[in-house]
Structure 1
C-alpha cells in the first residue's frame, strides 16, 4: 500500500532548507526509497510549509528514515525550523490521476463506440498526429472520419499495458488486438487475427483530450495481413 508522510514546519530560512533537500537527494542516490516529493507554501503565511513525501509502502518509508544521510539531513532541517516540525503518516486509500482515467476511458471506448460518438472524449479543437498521415487530423469531424475507417476494417480493442502522467499530459503504452473484417489500405478482408503494439502521448484540457501523438508498428500489422515479408 502506498504510504505518504506529511511534514508540517515553519521556517524563515526556506532557501537554506531547499538547498538542504537538494543535498539529501544527491547523497541518497541508489539508496532512497521515496518516489515523489512535493513542498507547498501557505498562501496566507509565507513561513508555513508542508512537505508531502510518497513511498511505495510504510516499510519502505521506514527503511528510508533509517538511512544515515536522512538522519543527518533531518537534524539540520530541524535547526532551520522556527519550531519543531510535525509529522503525519498516511496510508493511501484512494489514488487517482484524473487525466490518466480520461485517457484510459478513451482507449476503452475505441472499438466499442460508434464513430459519431467518439467526440465525447475530445475537445472541439482536437489535433491528431499520426506518422502515417501527411498532415495532422484537425477537429472532431476529422477524427470521426479516421476512426470510421479503422472501425469498418477491424473489430478491435485496446489493452492498456502502462500509463504515465505528468501535469496535463498522459503517455499510454498499449496493445491493439483486432480481427480484419473489411478493406484496409486496399487489402480485402482476411478474417486474420492481428495484434499491434504502440504508444500514444496525449494532452488534456478540462478532462478531455485536446491532442494525441501516435507511435505504432504499422509495418508489423501489414506483415500479419500478408502484405509485407512475402
Structure 2
C-alpha cells in the first residue's frame, strides 16, 4: 500500500529549505526509497510550509528514514524551522489520476469498442491530433474521427495498454494492438490477414478531456504484414 508522509513546519527560510531538499536528493541517489517529493507553501501564510513525500509502502519509508543522509538533512531542516516540524503518516486508500482515466476511456471506447462518436465526449471541441501515418500531421477532431473510422473499419483492432504514465496535464501511453484486415485502408483492399504491432501516444488533457494527442504507431510494420512493402 502506498504511504505518504506530510512534514508540516513554519519557516521564513523557504529558499534555504528548497536548497536543502536538493542536497537530500543528491545525497540519497541510489539509496532512497521515496518515489515522489513535493514542497508547498500556504498562500495565506508564506511561513507555513508542507513537504509531502511518497513511498511504495510504510516499510520502505522506514528504510528511507534509517539512511544517515536522511537523518542529517532532517536535523538541518529543523534548524531552519520555527519550532519542531510535525508529521502526519498516511496510508493511501485511493489514488485516482483523473487524466489517466479519460485516456483509458478513449482506448476502451473509441478503439476497442469502435465507437468513434465517443470522441466527441472525451475530447475538447478544439482537439488537435498529430500522427505521421496520416495524410496531414495536424488535424482537428472531425478529421481525426474520419481517419480513425477508416482504421476501425479496416482492422477492427484491439488495443492493450502496456503502460500508462501521467505527469501534470500529460499522459503517455505504451500499447500493443492486433486486428484483421477486413476493409480498405489507404488504398489497400482487404487481405484478410492478421496484423499486430506496438505504439506510443502522448495526450495533453484539459478540464477532464483530451485536448491534443501525438501518435507513433508501427504503420510500416502493418504494411509489411499486409504484403504492401517488403520486409
TM-score of the two chains, using structure 2 as the length reference: 0.94
Q: Which residue in 1 is equivalent to 2:49? A: 49
Q: Which residue in 2 is equivalent to 1:203? A: 204
Contact 2:161 2:176 in 1 (8 A): yes
Q: Which runs of 5+ in 1 are unaligned?
A: none
- 1:105 Cα deviation after fit: 0.8
Q: Which runs of 5+ in 2 are unaligned?
A: none
Q: Which residue in 1 is equivalent to 2:173? A: 172
Q: Which residue in 2 is equivalent to 1:37? A: 37
TM-score of the two chains, using structure 1 as the length reference: 0.95
Distance in 2 (alpha carbons) for counterparts of 1:116 and 1:107: 13
Distance in 2 (alpha carbons) for counterparts of 1:89 and 1:116: 45
Q: Which residue in 1 is equivalent to 2:71? A: 71
Mapping 1:77-226, distance limit 5 Å: 77-109=77-109, 110-226=111-227
TM-superposition CA deviations, 1:140-174 (whole Å, max 9, x none): 21122111111221111211011111111111011
Contact 1:9 1:81 in 2 (8 A): yes
Distance in 2 (alpha carbons) for counterparts of 1:58 and 1:2: 7
Distance in 2 (alpha carbons) for counterparts of 1:177 and 1:167: 30
- 1:102 Cα deviation after fit: 0.8
Distance in 2 (alpha carbons) for counterparts of 1:147 and 1:119: 13
TM-superposition CA deviations, 1:89-126 (whole Å, max 9, x none): 11111111101111111011113143334322111111
Deviates more, 1:42-51 or 1:187-196: 187-196
- 1:137 Cα deviation after fit: 4.4
The alignment partner of 2:107 has SS state of helix
Contact 1:64 1:70 in 2 (8 A): yes
Contact 2:114 2:156 in 1 (8 A): no
Contact 2:127 2:140 in 1 (8 A): yes
TM-superposition CA deviations, 1:185-209 (whole Å, max 9, x none): 2322222221110000111111111
Runs of 4+ in 1 over 3 A off after TM superposition: none
Distance in 1 (alpha carbons) for counterparts of 2:21 and 2:175: 37
Distance in 2 (alpha carbons) for counterparts of 1:83 and 1:215: 53
Contact 1:37 1:51 in 2 (8 A): yes
Distance in 2 (alpha carbons) for counterparts of 1:111 and 1:68: 51
